[in-house]
Amino acid sequence: MVLYPKGLTDVDRPLWDAAVAVLTTSYRTGRHEVAAAVRCTDGSIVTGLHLQGTAGRSSVCAEGVALGAVLVGQQDRHPGAPLDELVDTVLAVLHRPTPDGALLRIVAPCGVCRELLADHCPQAHGYVHLPDGTPSPVQLVEQDAPGIHGAPYLAAGRAQRVQVGELLPGSTRRAW
């Protein structure tokens, strides 16, 4: 049985699964620690992976990578459509190695990603992590995959689904 973060809706569980699958194959300490999954308005799921750079400014968040992939991947079906017509929900998962195993949790978009999401798809939904409680073990299909090392477990707390625009209150949406 696969455990999901408390508060994650049934309809968004495939987003968690997609992001964890990316981490399972691609996680590298200090290089690729966050994966994002985006559900498009047509129901398809697109993923992205965090790319850490030696200079902090050169790093690229998983959400931005996933949004770019949505634009590129949807152009054949929706030529010229902006992201706010293509993106339904964004979810990012953080992998953090600990002495007890691999901690997995939903991670809220950083400040830059909040601005990016607010500019391009403010009506979409996303998730934040609200910490509390005790960590729970997670059962993955392949626990010995190259990316995730150790027995994975969920961070204590719960997920909360929010509208992207709520993550940056008072923001003025850019008029493109």
What is the C-alpha separation between 111 and 159, in angstroms, rounded? 18
Q: What is the 3-state secondary structure (H, E, C) of 87-127?
A: EEEEEEEEEEEECCEEEEEECCCCHHHHHHHHHHCCCCEEE
What is the C-alpha separation between 16 and 169, in angstroms, rounded? 26
Round the CA-based radius of gyration of the chain to a whole number and report it: 16
Query: What is the set of active-site residues?
Result: 63
